Structure 1
Amino acid sequence: MRKIISKSFNLEYNETKKGRLDAFINDEISELTRSQIQKFIKDQYITVNGQPVAKSGFKLTNGDKILVNVPEEEPIEAIPENIPIDVVYEDDDVLVVNKPQGMVVHPAAGHPDKTLVNAILYHCQINDDDMIRPGIVHRIDKDTSGLLMIAKNNLAKQSLMKQLKEKSNLREYVAIVHGNFKEKTGKINAPLGRSKTDRKKQAVVENGRNAVTHFTVLEQFENYSLLKLKLETGRTHQIRVHMQYIGHPVAGDPLYGPKNTLKGNGQFLHAKTLGFVHPRTNKWMEFSVEPPKIFLDTLMQLRH
């Protein structure tokens, strides 16, 4: 059964040179990603002059009329799944977990299950009206490992989100990055927003959202350095974009780093230390976990 159409776009190609169908739609409709467009073409939701086309690379000619039908998304629901999680701390209000590399934090298009949220819902009860991101107050990327704080009720959620907004909590990372540094410490203050050339990426952009990252050089090796990074703000891909911006991309980063890099399971970035005021007791709590084995093994190789 075909999905219900949620919206449609009528486009006309007015270029003297031939152009790719998927690239043209991507330029014209900013809310769609290139992968979404290619899937819609494959599923015959997009027609050229009234006819479906077989390939995303279909060449358009001047005057071609394109109809883009956007299907209604299937509802996403977070359901409990018996997936082991590394619990660092837990009480009636908060849960602190060490997320492994390769795990998405919550269900979304393309990742409907096997997420950290699915695992948490099996592990314990979360009293939250958000059906997709219950208990989630902050996130780390799929291939970034490390500490996350989870709110088990509304009191905890409001308190932890307030601390994030007021920048009163502690979030420190360690990362292996390309290149060496003359300075021992630094501060990167550069606004972030969606990249104008690649919608999958964030970038330093004029009039973007305020973003501040502090770094300290812990060790230096041949062509690489180990950094401690402290977040003042928490924007999407903040550390990865800021390090690329200053010419020291995170090693292993498939999105913002060079192809010639350290081999691993994605970026060598780990949320090592997390601190916050407990929402009920008002006591300061701080946790720290070591990076995964592949991170530590790579450090050992660099040292030798």
Structure 2
Amino acid sequence: MQKQPIFHVREEAHLLPFLLEKYPGKGRNKVKSLLTRGQVMVGNRVVTRHDHLLAAGDKVTILQTGSVQGREAMAGVKIIYEDESLLVINKPPRLLSIATDEEKERTAYRILNEYVQERNPRARLFIVHRLDRDTSGLMMFAKSEAVKNQLQDHWKDVILERSYVALVEGAVEEKQSTIKTWLKESSTKTMYVSQPGDGVVAITHYQVIERTSEYSLLAVQLETGRKNQIRVHMQSIGHSVVGDKRYGSRKNPIARLGLHAQILAFKHPITGETLRFETKIPNQFQRVLHENKHS
């Protein structure tokens, strides 16, 4: 394997000017593309911001395009944050979080396990929580079993914010509301609203961001994290998530499920620092609203 270039920072500097100095013959756009493609690591973290401030003593590593970070093997997975304890990614739709009986190869877990093992063959990843195959967005992995257990055992205290955006069918009338029901799982693995006291309590808060006569874009916050919670709750109020045939959707203008994990904020299990990550609302969600508004 080709050796990865490593640069040691001697004095405070912004990342892009630092890299331009190290690659004088490369050209500004080519150097910027190293950042865009997630090929630049500062310490143990992939950094994409041009204005990231480097401190004296920092180590900057350039990942080769031949590495898993730059290959199609990443399958659209984008690393948002990385340190010695954690990985936070932006998962694309149609990618499983972890293997099932039907699919064992192409999963976010497998892709990222290869990524960490490419740098350290002894490294292991541990799944902390999951996203449905067709849901995109922010997802966290632990780099040790101890960190995984700490996160899972204290999930309610550690997680400060977990918000989704949902594109749903119809014009949701109430600007904001809370859905609280009991949920159960059927023999076909489909969740449904059950009688009070039967099953598990599920609480979902939502707020309308934008709506047209045919679709609504919602900001959705989970108070509990039950299987398919948002999907079954949206169906229960008559506004199924678009593309969600399993839970009553009749329209699929975006050729995917209209659900994206947009915000994840938590207390770092080791440092106690508050970390908050926010991704953009998928372009397809906003395009549907725009086109519907002007049709």
Counting aligned pairs with the same residue, the percent is: 38
Asked if residue 97 in structure 1 is aligned to residue 89 in structure 2, the reply is yes
1:252 positional shift: 1.4
Asked if residue 121 in structure 1 is aligned to residue 113 in structure 2, the reply is yes
Contact 1:145 1:291 in 2 (8 A): no
**Which position in structure 1 is the counterpart of 2:257?**
267
CA distance in 1, matches of 2:73, 2:210: 39
Contact 2:165 2:261 in 1 (8 A): yes
Contact 2:91 2:138 in 1 (8 A): yes
Contact 1:254 1:267 in 2 (8 A): no
**Which position in structure 2 is the counterpart of 1:255?**
246
CA distance in 2, matches of 1:268, 1:182: 19
CA distance in 2, matches of 1:295, 1:180: 15
Structure 1 gaps, min length 5: 1-80, 129-133
Question: Deviation digits for residues 238-284 of structure 1, max 9, x if unmatched?
Answer: 0000010111111111211233x132233201000001101111011
- Please identify the structure whose Cα radius of gyration is greater: 1
CA distance in 2, matches of 1:104, 1:232: 24
**Which position in structure 1 is the counterpart of 2:273?**
283
**Which position in structure 2 is the counterpart of 1:142?**
133
1:162-173 correspondence to structure 2 within 5 Å: 162-166=153-157, 168-173=159-164
1:165 positional shift: 4.2
1:1-304 correspondence to structure 2 within 5 Å: 82-84=73-75, 85-125=77-117, 134-166=125-157, 168-195=159-186, 199-206=188-195, 207-259=198-250, 261-304=251-294
CA distance in 1, matches of 2:293, 2:107: 34
Question: Deviation digits for residues 177-235 of structure 1, max 9, x if unmatched?
Answer: 1122332111111111113xx61311111311111100011111012111000011111
- Residue identity in the other structure for 1:212: I
CA distance in 2, matches of 1:296, 1:105: 25
Contact 2:158 2:267 in 1 (8 A): no
Contact 1:167 1:233 in 2 (8 A): no
CA distance in 1, matches of 2:232, 2:208: 18
Structure 2 length as normaliser, TM-score? 0.68
1:170 positional shift: 1.4
Contact 1:127 1:154 in 2 (8 A): no
Contact 2:211 2:289 in 1 (8 A): no
Q: What root-mean-square deviation, in Å, do the aligned CA atoms of Structure 1 and Structure 2 show? A: 2.0
CA distance in 2, matches of 1:220, 1:210: 29
Q: SS state of the match for residue 74, structure 2? A: coil
- Residue identity in the other structure for 2:252: L
Q: SS state of the match for residue 93, structure 2? A: coil
1:127 positional shift: 5.5
Contact 1:273 1:288 in 2 (8 A): yes
Q: SS state of the match for residue 264, structure 1? A: coil
Question: Deviation digits for residues 39-97 of structure 1, max 9, x if unmatched?
Answer: xxxxxxxxxxxxxxxxxxxxxxxxxxxxxxxxxxxxxxxxxx94342000100001000
Q: SS state of the match for residue 256, structure 2? A: coil
**Which position in structure 2 is the counterpart of 1:10?**
none
Structure 1 length as normaliser, TM-score? 0.66
Contact 1:276 1:284 in 2 (8 A): yes
- Further displaced range: 233-242 or 172-181: 172-181
